[in-house]
Amino acid sequence: MILFFAMLLDAAFGEPRAIWDRVPHPAVLMGRVVGVLDQRLNAGARRRAKGVAALVMMVLGAYALGHLIALVPDFGVLEGIAAAILLAQKSLVDHVRAVANGLRQSLPAGRRAVAMIVGRDTAALEEPGVARAAIESAAENLSDGVIAPAFWFLVGGLPLMLVYKITNTADSMIGHRTERHEEFGWASARFDDLLNLIPARLTAVLIGVSHGRLAARPVLRDAPLHRSPNAGWPEAAMAVVLNVALSGPRAYHGVMSDFPWVWPEGRRDAGPGDIDAACRALWRAWGLMLLLVACVALI
């Protein structure tokens, strides 16, 4: 029930700027922790071992903090507020919808909006590319920002939710195959893959079932083609639901990568209306997850 009300709280209020303009958001604090460990440990020999040690410190610290918050005798109020802060449904929808609104104003406005939520090069994207980028971000971040943290709260309460969030933050910062982070970020990237294994597939099911179109065969066919072992599942489900081809070629730092298409049978002329449809799909999947949490609470 704590998670149930936390999901409602996040959906209603999101991330109020009046608060987070004055104090650091927990995600920002997690990022600072990762940054400090990266700066102090990621040097010299045995970088992979140091990365493992950094991950262990982050995981143990997050678990201990979550456990201390859960022990506060306040009938779960503080735990629920913390969980709501760590969820990102409303803010995700707001950021994705901003891309659709931007495209309706002009292509440059759409590019600026989508550059806020994706890491690919956006300066040369045409409208379909901007729309696809927003939809892909919506699907992937539904898993990373909503379903996965909620899933781990169901499994182990706030401690495991915090473990997931610090691991996901570490993966986004140091889990890249670059010269600096290939070794040091290896453990964080692999642990993040493990923690997302079930939630990513659950997200795909929620997207499909909530739309009345599970379409397991194309999802099973296309999801493994994705460059990520987990992101392909919600993206493939969203592609089928919207009948829009996703992923495909894109550029990072000026280098074009020829990634395969997810649901290549789908339309390739995505636009603002498809982004709006993706936002509606986000809310339907969220509603189904809320129902699932309520059922678990009543067992």
Residue 177 has pLDDT above 80, yes or no: yes
Beta-bridged to residue 262, according to DSSP, are 246
- Cβ-in-10-Å burial (0-12, 13-18, 19+) of 287 comes to middle
**DSSP code for 227:** S
Place of tokens 């201390």: 68
Phi-psi region of 263 (alpha: psi -120 to 50; beta: other; left: phi over 0): left
Q: What is the pTM of this model?
A: 0.96
Residue 197 has pLDDT above 80, yes or no: yes
Structure tokens that stand for 208 in this block: 């499909």
What separation, in Å, do the N-terminal and C-terminal C-alpha atoms of the chain show?
11
Please write the tens of the pLDDT for every residue from 113-143: 999 999 899 999 999 999 999 999 999 999 9
pLDDT value of position 60:
98
Under DSSP, is residue 256 helix (H, G, I), strand (E, B) or coil? strand
